[in-house]
Amino acid sequence: MFLFEAVPWYSWVMFFVVIAALMLANEIARANKWVSLLLFLVLPIILTIAVWPKTAGAGSSTGTWFHWVKVYSALAGCLGFMGLRFIKGWDKNKYLLMFPAIILAINIMEAVIRDFQVSNLHGYIDGVMMVGGPWNIMNGIAGILNIITISGWMGIVISRDKHRDMLWPDQLWFWIIAYDLWNFAYVYNCVSDHAFYAGAALLISCTIPAFFIKKGAWLQHRAQTLAFWMMFTMSFPMFVGESRFSVASSHSEAALWFVSGLALAANVAVFVYHVYKIVKFKRNPFKQEVYPDLKAYQKVADTPQTAELA
């Protein structure tokens, strides 16, 4: 294969099992705030004390600064979003509504920094094969553009159904696709032998619910599936790299150029469209939503907010 070495049938089965498991865990977390607190607060405390010092220590594939920062930033996002969803008045506070955009930008910037760092690395480092090059710089730029095009956090609302999902109408499908392409390229560039699961399967697990289960709640889906995945891989680091189900990257420079080039092109396109909307309608992206005229925005914004709480 172009991106990966040969993928046996049982790895394809596991690929879909991972997607299904992450989607199921996300739905369980959506359903009950107390279960969410157990999963995103109590469980991580136990793992931090009893498990991760042994499984994610120095020299392991998940023992880098990035993995430790990523798991806690994802968990911080989940808990912060729960605050907006369930603590009275938080969803009306303009400063607290900045939190989703800030934590999202921080998570992207963490990966951008890692991409730039890996551009000068070659060979096996921390148990992972690194093939650094210009593609890392390209994808780092794509990530920066992805941050710049984050907009409309002041329009975040909480659905008034039993799930109380955090809905972000201005975070539309084209931005999500550009993010997915950038993030897959990041994983493929920096932890390429993990990209089959940590890249493709993980991204699919939050994009499907964002498009087909609860539109507008992509960031909530993303934070929760990412937190579950990071907790799993830090507890069982052998799964993606050395288990029977692991799938190795092809480590092809052509593939590295391709995924980073595609990510950069997509994010340039979104950036150009973003600027066009801002200029044409004279919108201030720090104070106004950029896409309220689009039908995709209106479908999310028109979600009944006065429904009776279940």
Lowest average pLDDT, out of 59-73, 83-97, 154-168, 262-276, goes to 59-73
Torsion angles phi and psi, residue 126, rounded to 5: 55, 35
Greater model confidence, 107 or 57 = 107
Cα(69)–Cα(254) distance, integer angstroms: 30
pLDDT at 59: 67
Using the predicted structure, report yes or no on whether residue 115 has a pLDDT greater than 60.
Answer: yes
pLDDT at 308: 34
pLDDT more than 70, % of the chain: 96
Q: Are 145 and 268 in contact (CB under 8 A)?
A: yes
Mean pLDDT of 281-308: 83
Of the pLDDT bands very low, low, confident and very high (cuts 50, 70, 90), residue 49 is: very high
Helices (H) and strands (E) in the chain, counts: 13, 4
pLDDT at 152: 96
Q: Which residues of 113-135 are buried (b: 16+ CB within 10 A; e: fewer)?
A: ebbbbbbebeeeebbbbbbbbeb
Of the pLDDT bands very low, low, confident and very high (cuts 50, 70, 90), residue 127 is: confident
Mean pLDDT of 136-144: 98
What mean pLDDT value characterizes the chain? 93
pTM of the model: 0.93
pLDDT at 307: 38
Cα(151)–Cα(297) distance, integer angstroms: 12
